[in-house]
Amino acid sequence: MGGKSPVTASDEQRVALTALAGSRDRGEADRARAVLLTRSGWTSPRIAEAFGVREDTVRLWRSDFVRGGVTALRASVAPGPPPVKSETALRVVTPLLEAPVADRPNWTIARLRAEIEACEGISISRSQLSKALRKKSSAGGGPGTR
């Protein structure tokens, strides 16, 4: 199959694609850029090579755009159970880390893990706790969380 791609975009969609192409989420940005490059005449093999993906992936991105517009290119939360351990850990840890610095002990990951286990009876790995804390702080976790 060859030829010109049937992907079309309104002026409003082109503006939205350009904005999404600047997203901090690399997947969103790549999908939007691929559609914009398609509109500029780039072929699937050329886009696939530029982004380090398969040609089928580029075609899937185009198909998603044709079916659902710019919204279909946005990142979505993967289905699955809620992060119970992380949520529980943050429920215990947040008040500890929000206390005034002068009045609180020096919390390390190991001490926080022990406190979580003592309070809630769950064991959380160092890496999972670190990831939950980073995610919280990047989502505007407030002062003293970075």
Segment 81-90, tens digit of pLDDT: 888 999 999 9
C-alpha–C-alpha distance, residues 20 and 48, integer Å: 19
Q: What is the pTM of this model?
A: 0.54
- Which DSSP state fits 103? G
Q: Note whether residue 134 is domain-resident.
A: no
pLDDT score of 5: 66
C-alpha–C-alpha distance, residues 124 and 87, integer Å: 11
In this structure, the answer to whether residues 68 and 15 fall within a common structural domain is yes
Q: Note whether residue 2 is domain-resident.
A: no
* Statement: residue 142 has pLDDT above 90: no
Q: Note whether residue 143 is domain-resident.
A: no
Task: Show Cβ contacts of residue 66 under 8 Å, excluding neighbours closer than 6 positions.
Answer: 6, 7
pLDDT digits (tens, 9 = 90+) for 2-44: 556 678 888 899 899 999 999 988 999 999 999 999 999 999 9
Q: Note whether residue 142 is domain-resident.
A: no
Of the three residues 54, 73, 92, the one that is the final residue of a domain is 73
pLDDT digits (tens, 9 = 90+) for 115-128: 999 999 999 999 99
Q: Note whether residue 140 is domain-resident.
A: no
Phi-psi region of 52 (alpha: psi -120 to 50; beta: other; left: phi over 0): left
Q: Which domain holds residue 101?
A: 84-126
